[in-house]
Amino acid sequence: MGALPRKYMYIIATLLIIILILGGALAYYVLSPMYTPKKPIVIRFWHAYNPVETEKVAKLIEEFMKENPDIKVEMEAIPYSALHDKLITAMAAGTAPDVVRMDIIWVPEFASIGALLELDEFIKRDNIDLNNFFPGPLETCKWNGHYYGLPRDTNTRVLFYRKDLFAEAGIDHPPRTWQELLEFAKKLTKDKDGDGKIDQYGLAIGGAWPWHFFPFLWQNGGDLLDKDMKKCIINNTEGVEALQFLVDLIHEYKVAEYGTDVWRGFALGRYAMMIMGPWGKPLIASVDKEVAEKKTGVAPLFKGKYAASIVGGEDIVIFRQTKHPEAAWKFVKFLTSERFQLEMFKVGQIPVLRSLAPKLSTDPYYKVFMEQLETARARTPHPKFAQIKEIIHREVEAALLGLKTPKEALDAIAAEVNKILGG
């Protein structure tokens, strides 16, 4: 710094800052009236749509903005795994988005901490016909008797099976009961190259989350909580039997494998059956198009004592921190409209409107999901579900890996969940 006297440095620095500030201000005042005659309301919309869906959503939002020039929607696609934590952080910082498409299972959690805007009055004022929504998805928007969202899309898990492997084993229909499931799985489990190791399993068990375990639990008559939601009953006889059945498939009969990314194994012929949502087919196609198109069959899940599967999907909610509830509500109505739902169905998102049901049943693939939705149940709405689901995963996984007996694992879940319910 030797050449320039300090005095000048000081002046230059000050001048630079002044120029920057003045320049910015000047540009703002000169340019902004030119480009924005009337400042539109900005609605920030966060979602976890996949890239294909996001492209479609972007196009539809363009149309919405053309029809509503006073509203500007800024959407942000956030990976599913990051969305929950990002919402928490944004809320803490007071910068929560206005509208969010969130997993149905998060709604009670966010509603219970007062993060969401109650929609009852909007629904009443605008005569929204709630009966036009499927009851399962609609129920997920409710917390403490109030609506905090509207359903956006729904899904459920059905049985995917390899038609070619079934034919090879001489089986002519997908299993309809647990007995058939076991019997068929035995026939479909093979050591193809004779090295003493199994290289084709009857069934893949794709995880240990409630999402994977609860269909079996419900099919056997068990549940997470009792009717009053005061006590955890997952470790009753029905619950233990259900988990024992899964554990036996893996360890006793050795006809099922517990693994991750099971769709890969399904596409490669390692698994003859798996249980998955409507995104199953595109995933299989990403490995092997021919298997997805010609060799994959879908059917409603086998029954235990009862028929049951699990409801997934997303709801649209408005965050209470929003400064423009009216504009946000207008956008929510658009996202749940028949037109938006039908367009999104083209990229694999199952609509939640009764009025669209006839259109869905024409596709043989989606017809199975629609049929399954009749018996699909929602996970217990509980504000602490994020924590409960971690406990269930930890213990059910331990049982599936043979580290604990089903009884031990479920007792541990009940003990911890009861503690959460009590405190």
Residues of this chain that bind another protein (CB under 8 A): 6, 9-10, 13-14, 84-85, 88-89, 91-92, 109, 113-115, 257, 259-261, 264-265, 270, 384, 386-387, 390, 393-394, 397-398, 401, 403
C-beta of 109 vs 315, nearer to another protein: 109
Q: How far is CA 49 from CA 8, 87, 135, in A?
A: 55, 16, 23
| Count of residues in the chain | 423
The nearest distance, CB 88 to another protein, in angstroms, is 6
Residue with tokens 């694992």: 409
CB 311 within 8 A of CB 373: yes
C-beta of 172 vs 195, nearer to another protein: 195
The nearest distance, CB 90 to another protein, in angstroms, is 10
The nearest distance, CB 118 to another protein, in angstroms, is 15
The nearest distance, CB 259 to another protein, in angstroms, is 5
C-beta of 26 vs 401, nearer to another protein: 401
C-beta of 223 vs 397, nearer to another protein: 397
C-beta of 257 vs 315, nearer to another protein: 257
Helices 385-400 and 406-422: angle between axes, nearest 10 degrees: 170
Pairing of strands 142-143, 271-276: unpaired
Pairing of strands 296-299, 158-162: antiparallel
| Token pair listed for 327 | 């504009």
The nearest distance, CB 102 to another protein, in angstroms, is 15
C-beta of 264 vs 333, nearer to another protein: 264
- In DSSP terms, which residues pair with 295 in a beta bridge? none
Q: Kindly calculate the radius of gyration of the chain based on its CA atoms and give it in whole angstroms.
A: 26
Residue with tokens 């390899």: 162
Within 8 A by CB and 6+ apart from 58, the residues are 75
The nearest distance, CB 262 to another protein, in angstroms, is 9
